[in-house]
Structure 1
Amino acid sequence: MFLVMYPVGINSEVGSIYIALQFIKAWEKYRIRMPNKWNYSFDYFYASILVLLVYVPGSPHMYTYMLGQRKKALAKSKIA
């Protein structure tokens, strides 16, 4: 089930963020604009886009890493 459910979970997370982008942009609740006492600006919409830009190309690496970890865990249980 891992081989099927892990990619489904990744696609669900990416899809949820993508669908939520329009609401995040319209809502503007988590937006901190300058000037403030820290002279810091943050926009949750652009942070979400950044997460997508990292998450999508990084997901094959995460999947292969988890396959390796799964193989190690299953090998240890067979030995014991």
Structure 2
Amino acid sequence: MATIYDVATQAGVSPATVSRVLSGKTVNAELTKKVRAAAKTLGYRANRTAQSLRRQHSKLIGLIIPDIENSYFTAIARGVE
């Protein structure tokens, strides 16, 4: 799995520039093109777990169901889903 460091090396830029480009911040158009091409070539995919740890926020909801056989609780679970 490729990292932003691999993408940075391939594109000839710093890892910070790769981070800025991939997060959608304003960067020189030429650098943006290089970084996106390198990311595509290497098959880079963002690590969502690492991002949520860094931001200290995830987009997950935990649901504890006391009795899965009870239709009331399964209906609530379907609604949350």
Normalising by structure 1, what TM-score? 0.24
Looking at secondary structure, tell me which structure has more strand per residue: 1
Looking at secondary structure, tell me which structure has more helix per residue: 1
